[in-house]
Structure 1
Amino acid sequence: MAEATELKAWARPRSGKGGARSVRREGRVPGILYGDKQEPQSIAVDYRAISQQILTGHFQSTIFVLDVDGKKTRVIPRGVQLDPVRDFPIHVDFMRVSKDALVTVEVPVHFLNDAASPGLKRGGVLNVVRHTIPVRCPADKIPDHFDVDLTGLEIGDSVHISEIKLPEGVRPTITERDFTVATIVGRSAEEPVPGALAAEAAEPGAEAAAAAPAEGGEEKEKPKAEKKKD
């Protein structure tokens, strides 16, 4: 769990579409700061700083220290709106979090020791069912990632959430089942096995079976033409 990153922010006096457009022209992203039993506050954050954090892939599972005009507050991003065409941030929501607050986050999964998996060595494929795992935990104990060791896994083996060691105080939000995180799978069942077609053709009676009409499709005897009477 890394130290909280600080983000610079400014109070935004004007709300609404007009105020948001004005903020964007200044190279900032409009947003809202809410939670912790306090009034929501309109803010603006630096566009470049927010864009860099979004590219990390775990922006919404990271605790930040938001410096709003000198007043620092611990926050966690709770929503990012992107431009539908150019895919850049146009609005961001932050929720205030106290030291003992519980938060729900998506934590990424890292897979280790693929070279030590006999199944992968024999041509199997790692089928990742969940790239992230939703958990509930204290704001100060958000894991950076979960490690999954692939050592010894054969084709057909699966990794379930119960096999991943979670830090103290961290619990999965899905509790009604031992859900699958990843599996080691073999070749597709539809992939033809080399030599199978040749072996099938070499079986006794194969040619006769191929020549025989399909069941229910027997050839009917054609009616004989009647001779014309004089």
Structure 2
Amino acid sequence: MAQIVSLKAEARDRVGKGASRAARRENMVPAVIYGDKKEPESIQVALNEIVRLINRGGFMSHTYEIDVNGKKTKVLPRDLQLHPVSDVPMHIDFLRLAKGATVVVHVPVHVIGEEKSPGLKRGGTINHNRHDIDLHVPADNIPEFIEVSVEGLDIGEAAKISSVKLPKGCTPVITDRDFTIVSIVAPSGMRSAEAAAESEEEASE
């Protein structure tokens, strides 16, 4: 499960565009904590700390414990606004995590079992149909990633959601079909050769 990360923040007395611009000039990122039937709380977080967390990956699927003057609140990022040119973080919305609540999270996919895939041994490659999966997950037990195995898969075969063992309490958002997560496809050279062979067969008929 994803580790809860501690994050220091400061309360914001003023809100609005002017106050947000002032915070950014001080290398702070304006943010708001909302949800759990409580009043929104305006805060600001050090820019360098947010950039560090974003660069390590999985920012939107990690649970954070925000500390504002000793008051700690468990949250999950719900919206991250970046500058359209520089990609500098401009604003963050954090959702309060109530005990026993369920949230929808994009959980990254980790592929395993490559060494036991006949298709890969024959020169096939992995096609990532989905790099992450939308899951309903317990707010206090968010998985850091989902393992999807390609063990036993040959060229033309795929691992679907029905073959994945999800952590306890986690269910896919998509329920109306057994969707593909990864598949084993032929390398481009093999596909070209097969296409040429099919063309010759059609020409000879």
Do both share a fold (TM > 0.5)? yes
The offset of 1:193, in angstroms, is 5.8
The aligned counterpart of 1:51 is: 51
SS in 1 for 2:140: helix
Change (3 A) 1:195 1:87: closer
Provide the rounded CA distance (Å) in 1 between the counterparts of 2:178 and 2:56.
29
The aligned counterpart of 1:4 is: 4
The aligned counterpart of 1:167 is: 167
Change (3 A) 1:101 1:115: same
Change (3 A) 1:43 1:5: same
Deviation digits for residues 63-119 of structure 1, max 9, x if unmatched? 110011221001000100000000110111111111211110011111112122111
The aligned counterpart of 1:215 is: none
The offset of 1:195, in angstroms, is 9.2
The offset of 1:137, in angstroms, is 1.4
The aligned counterpart of 1:113 is: 113
SS in 2 for 1:141: coil
RMSD of Structure 2 on Structure 1 (CA): 2.1
Change (3 A) 1:179 1:120: same
Change (3 A) 1:193 1:176: closer
The aligned counterpart of 1:154 is: 154
Provide the rounded CA distance (Å) in 2 between the counterparts of 1:195 and 1:35.
59
The offset of 1:41, in angstroms, is 1.5
The aligned counterpart of 2:192 is: 191
The aligned counterpart of 1:225 is: none
In structure 2, give the amino acid aligned to 1:164.
V
Deviation digits for residues 167-211 of structure 1, max 9, x if unmatched? 111000000111110111114486246996xxx6xx9xx9xxxxx
Unmatched segments (≥5 aa) in structure 2: none
Does 1 or 2 have the higher relative contact order (CA < 8 Å, sep 6+)? Answer: 2
The offset of 1:42, in angstroms, is 1.3
- Mean alpha-carbon deviation: is it higher for 103-112 or for 143-152? 143-152
The offset of 1:57, in angstroms, is 2.6
The aligned counterpart of 2:104 is: 104
The aligned counterpart of 1:89 is: 89
Deviation digits for residues 109-161 of structure 1, max 9, x if unmatched? 11112122111111111111001000001111211111112222110111100
Matches within 5 A, 1:31-70: 31-70=31-70
Provide the rounded CA distance (Å) in 1 between the counterparts of 2:195 and 2:76.
54
Provide the rounded CA distance (Å) in 1 between the counterparts of 2:67 and 2:183.
44
Provide the rounded CA distance (Å) in 2 between the counterparts of 1:64 and 1:187.
42
Change (3 A) 1:85 1:176: same
TM-score by length of 1: 0.81
The aligned counterpart of 1:144 is: 144
Larger radius of gyration: 1
The offset of 1:2, in angstroms, is 3.7
In structure 2, give the amino acid aligned to 1:139.
A
For these two proteins, the number of residue pairs brought into alignment is 200
The aligned counterpart of 1:26 is: 26
Provide the rounded CA distance (Å) in 2 between the counterparts of 1:48 and 1:73.
21
Unmatched segments (≥5 aa) in structure 1: 207-230
Provide the rounded CA distance (Å) in 1 between the counterparts of 2:194 and 2:174.
40
The aligned counterpart of 2:128 is: 128
Provide the rounded CA distance (Å) in 1 between the counterparts of 2:6 and 2:196.
63
The aligned counterpart of 1:78 is: 78
The offset of 1:34, in angstroms, is 0.7
